[in-house]
Structure 1
Amino acid sequence: MNKKVVVCLLLLIIVTAGSGCVSEPVTSDEGVNSMDLEEIEGLWLGTLQVQGGMEVRLLFNISSSPDGSVSATMDSLDQGVKGIPVEAVTYKDKKLHLDVKSIRGSFEGTLKGDGKTIEGEWKQSGSVLPLVLSRIDETPDTRKEQDPVKPYPYDEKEVVYENAEAGVTLAGTLTLPRSEGPFPAVILISGSGQQNRDEEILGHRPFLVLSDYLTRRGIAVLRVDDRGVGGSTGDFSQATSEDFAGDVLAGIEYLKSREEIDASRIGLIGHSEGGLIAPIVASSSPDVAFIVMMAGQGITGEEILYLQSDLIFRAEGIDNETIARNNALMKSMYSVIKEEQNDTVAAEKLRKLLMDEVANMSEEEKKNSGYSEDVLEAQVNAQVQTLISPWMRFFLTYDPVPTLMKVKCPVLAINGEKDLQVPPEENLQAIEEALKAGGNKDYTVKELPGLNHLFQTAETGSPSEYAKINETISPVALELIGDWVSEHTAITD
């Protein structure tokens, strides 16, 4: 799961889905003399050192049009987001200003004498970080080591289908082996937050890697953009895990309509929140032949969030007093969400809790948390809206155990030993006990040594490591999933 609601916020470049648009051109008369343009035109790359030891590479592309207008875009390379509009470009007396209004960010710097370096600062939501941009000739290769390279030894088809009940159009990619069908198939279900079909996160594309691996082993794979992402329609902000389960059911119906797919061998592989959704679907549909839960939950969302924040804070070296304060704040906020169903009243109570907490912070604590006076109201309001969202209200109180007890199809439940977001001990034990109590006769529960929440080989498991690790999914995890699915679909290599 990618959501983490805590008062001590990790500083990240916050971008919105679908931001790959081109900025409106800014005329040279507004801030760039055409004679000076060649000094800043081109590609400029810099690296932010953000809280938690994380590095985020920013790439600015400044260009001109024949009419003399100037435009620019920004890529956040390690977050896999490209084409963020730079709404204003100002350059005068060697000083460059870039305004990225969509994420409340800006860069101000000075071109050095060598003409190849711009030293300055990145500002976002009240935080200020040093940033040095260097001129480069071509866009860096962001492909990870495990990303598959075309041409693929299988067929890849762009598909679109409807969840008619919800009025949502879903777009995705279906990969099909080139051997003789009909094929067993799996639908990949992403974790929380708005995810594209590759479940892209911090430069990694786990579902692209997983689909490639499974398709090479003779299994058809459907991976889909979440509601409101990429080619899919719908309002993500108003949806819950149950709504996403409806989207998966629509995917099953779509696969059943294709002659290349064996309708009796359609399974689900869900990661994180997807591992919660898969049992919901399997318990309600006889068409699900098997499920794989990758870091799926066996306890309530509230329990997970307490464990998650404690483990991540400790991995980042946060002191016990801060952890205790944060835990107390979380309990107060979650009590409001559970007890107050009126969103307006709940929002006011939550806003007061957060504002009181900020008022009691030292200046150093405010700086480290990411809060700032000039945008405090906006930051608090954004957090409040997340807390009272339909998704959070459902997630906090949903107990997966009764649903797991109804799942009768084969289940593979796996977690990484170093998973700090969905801790393995508590969740795997609860999953196993629920499956056993429900009379499931075919389940495998396994903790994988040394792997984190993304199933990467990790040192601490902290989310701050995700982008630094070149591995997208451990070969151990891939092989375990591949072998288990092949065994349960009667595929022999």
Structure 2
Amino acid sequence: MNSFEDLKETAQNFIGLLFAGDFTSAAGKFDDQMKIALNEAKLQETWINTIIEAGALIQLNAPKTAEVESYKIVTIPCSFQRSIIEVQITFNKEGQISGLNFIPTSMEYHAPDYVDKSAFSEVEVTIGEGKWALPGTLTVPTGSEPFPGLVLVHGSGPNDRDETIGPNKIFKDIAWGLASKGIAVLRYDKRTFIHAKQLTPDMVDKMTAKEEVTDDALLAADLMRKTEGIDTKRVFLLGHSLGATLAPRISQQDNELAGIIIMAGMTRLIEEAILDQFTYLYNLGGNITPQQQAELDDLKNKVDKLKDPEFIENISRQDLPLAMPVAYWKDLHNYDPANTVKTLDTDILVLQGGRDYQVLESKDFKGWKDALNHRENATLKVFSELNHLFIAGEGKSSPQEYMVEGHVEKEVIDYIVEWIK
């Protein structure tokens, strides 16, 4: 019979095939009974339905093993953006897969100490209407109206309204923290999260940041202004990561916003940021493996191709970094955050984590600083110990750090409250 060490490796390879979308090879590891119970098409459907709401994979955790009668079981917990899914694989004596379970584990949220739950209430709202209407939550302070309002705009990827990453809920921290201090906050599920199953491949190919982010952010700001008890002249917008990068564009299209808050926004081209991120992550261990170097070389080649104006006109998704749609790249190439922010008359707050490896103080924050130099209505602040999620830590930041429970630092909450008020 196969040893547990061999079966652990087989289990990890099997999960790798699932993530690669190679369901033919994955189903080929089943015994005869499993091939009937869970054929290739059913395996694909089950896997996609399991992970569709889990978000991006952050890491595979250490395998756990068990033995029941003549079967050996390997369970690998997979940490995703919004949940942990345990992939439980049962092997027969011949080392074939004779059982497969996907077991989701939700992560409980614990409110930070700066939250006073008696200071606010929450109501469910709907942003927009029709096919792409989005469910959201409006957090309203108790006390005398009208309240200043803040709309939260997510980072890249299919984010929920709390911007859940592992056990952390960045937007819930901000909403509850600010509402405890008398500021109403609106957060909502992103279109690519709540309507993922309605997005056809053709729609995804044509999607740009306008459909993914901007359109819904504008609707949310409009809803906030129309909400009873909100000061219509004091509605602000806070973007995080991609949302922060696009905040100047959103403000350019909504001249009623009282101000924008840019939390970890990029001023570099997105492909340069992606290359920098992968280079950083592959160097965290000290030595880059030959495979990692090959992947970096391939990514750099794709980034270089994007700089050729003629090439981008005849490019396919497979030739692009992360296989992102061509329309998406073209849209972002036609947008310069630093130059756009210069055109705004509104108040601007730029916040940056000093330990952020995704959005860099030395490049992105410097870009905002250079663009807003000597502007009296612009405030810029670096929090040296905070990462991309504005959670405190030590040493070099890593994706694994996002799986440790923490909260948006109280100093950040207080800084935003003081700036708005």
Query: With structure 2 as the length reference, what TM-score do the two structures score?
Result: 0.71
- How far 1:462 sits from its partner (Å)? 3.2
Determine helix, strand or coil for the equivalent of 1:157: strand
One-letter identity of the residue aligned with 1:417: G
- How far 1:402 sits from its partner (Å)? 1.7
2:419 — aligned with what? 484
Distance 1:84 1:15 in 2: 18
Distance 1:82 1:332 in 2: 34
Q: Check 1:319–1:201 CA distance in 2 against 1; reply closer, same or farther (3 A cut).
A: same
Distance 1:336 1:204 in 2: 37
1:369-389 deviations in whole A, cap 9, x for unaligned?
xxxxxxxxxxxxxx8772334
One-letter identity of the residue aligned with 2:416: I
2:208 — aligned with what? 240
One-letter identity of the residue aligned with 1:143: E
1:178-207 deviations in whole A, cap 9, x for unaligned?
112121110111100110101111221111
Distance 2:276 2:269 in 1: 11
Distance 1:394 1:85 in 2: 38
Determine helix, strand or coil for the equivalent of 1:467: helix
**Larger RCO (CA within 8 A; separation ≥ 6):** 1
Q: Check 1:94–1:471 CA distance in 2 against 1; reply closer, same or farther (3 A cut).
A: farther
Matching residue within 251, 261, 268 for 2:237: 268
1:80 — aligned with what? 82
- Contact 1:142 1:203 (C-alpha < 8 Å) held by counterparts: yes
Determine helix, strand or coil for the equivalent of 1:176: strand
1:29-78 deviations in whole A, cap 9, x for unaligned?
x78xxxxxxxxxxxxxxxxxxx99x564899xxxxxxxxxxxxxx98566
- How far 1:418 sits from its partner (Å)? 1.0
- Contact 1:300 1:398 (C-alpha < 8 Å) held by counterparts: no
Q: Check 1:245–1:223 CA distance in 2 against 1; reply closer, same or farther (3 A cut).
A: same
One-letter identity of the residue aligned with 1:142: M
1:414-440 deviations in whole A, cap 9, x for unaligned?
11111111111211111022123xx74
- How far 1:284 sits from its partner (Å)? 2.5
- How far 1:92 sits from its partner (Å)? 7.2
Q: Which moved more, 1:261-270 or 1:472-481?
A: 472-481
- Contact 2:221 2:237 (C-alpha < 8 Å) held by counterparts: no
Distance 1:253 1:460 in 2: 41
2:299 — aligned with what? 330
Name stretches of at least 5 consecutive residues in structure 1 with no aligned partner: 1-10, 17-26, 32-50, 60-73, 101-105, 107-132, 134-138, 351-382, 488-493
Q: Quick check: 1:451 aligned with 2:417?
A: no
1:169 — aligned with what? 133
1:418 — aligned with what? 355
Q: Which moved more, 1:203-212 or 1:314-323?
A: 314-323
Distance 2:18 2:318 in 1: 28
1:180 — aligned with what? 144
Distance 1:293 1:318 in 2: 35
Matching residue within 199, 209, 228 for 2:163: 199
- How far 1:299 sits from its partner (Å)? 2.2
1:467 — aligned with what? 402
- Contact 2:358 2:388 (C-alpha < 8 Å) held by counterparts: yes
Distance 1:322 1:233 in 2: 34
Q: Check 1:468–1:445 CA distance in 2 against 1; reply closer, same or farther (3 A cut).
A: same
Determine helix, strand or coil for the equivalent of 2:143: coil
1:290-346 deviations in whole A, cap 9, x for unaligned?
111110112222332233233333223243987775554333213444547799952
Matching residue within 191, 210, 226 for 2:174: 210
Over aligned residue pairs, what C-alpha RMSD do you find?
4.3
Distance 1:305 1:384 in 2: 8
1:121 — aligned with what? none
One-letter identity of the residue aligned with 2:160: N
Equivalent residue pairs, number: 361
- The percent identity for this pair of structures is 23
Q: More helix per residue: 1 or 2?
A: 2
Q: Quick check: 1:143 aligned with 2:108?
A: yes
Q: Which moved more, 1:269-278 or 1:318-327?
A: 318-327
Determine helix, strand or coil for the equivalent of 2:358: coil
Q: Check 1:141–1:220 CA distance in 2 against 1; reply closer, same or farther (3 A cut).
A: same
Name stretches of at least 5 consecutive residues in structure 2 with no aligned partner: 1-15, 22-32, 38-56, 65-75
Distance 2:116 2:17 in 1: 32
1:400 — aligned with what? 337
In the TM superposition, 1:240-389 aligns within 5 A as 240-243=208-211, 244-319=213-288, 326-337=295-306, 339=308, 346-347=315-316, 350=319, 386-389=323-326
Distance 1:327 1:288 in 2: 41
Q: Check 1:85–1:470 CA distance in 2 against 1; reply closer, same or farther (3 A cut).
A: closer
- How far 1:258 sits from its partner (Å)? 1.2
Determine helix, strand or coil for the equivalent of 1:452: coil
